Amino acid sequence: MFEGSFLGDGEKLADDDRLECGICWQVYDPATGDAHWGIPAGTPFAQLPEHWRCPNCDAPRHKFMVLKD
């Protein structure tokens, strides 16, 4: 669940949506994944494991909001 976008409805996220931490502004980009957590490139935000947290500030997933370019 994430509160920042779509009230936690992960089905409304596009696979290529980038999301930004509402605490520290770290961006999760599926094109690059997350080396800190061992998440491979191409992993959509909605498919991140439940235990995944912001690699910069340790905020939970629900603190991330969709970035619109």
**Rounded alpha-carbon distances, angstroms, from residue 39 to 46, 68, 69:** 12, 22, 23
Confidence of residue 3 (pLDDT cuts 50, 70, 90): low
pLDDT at residue 65 in the model: 92
- pTM of the predicted structure, to 2 decimals: 0.86
Q: Which domains does the chain have, with CATH numbers?
A: 1-69 (2.20.28.10)
Mean local confidence (pLDDT), 25-38: 97
Per the CB < 8 A criterion, the answer to whether 24 and 56 are in contact is yes
Q: Give residue-wise pLDDT tens across range 5-16.
A: 665 667 788 999
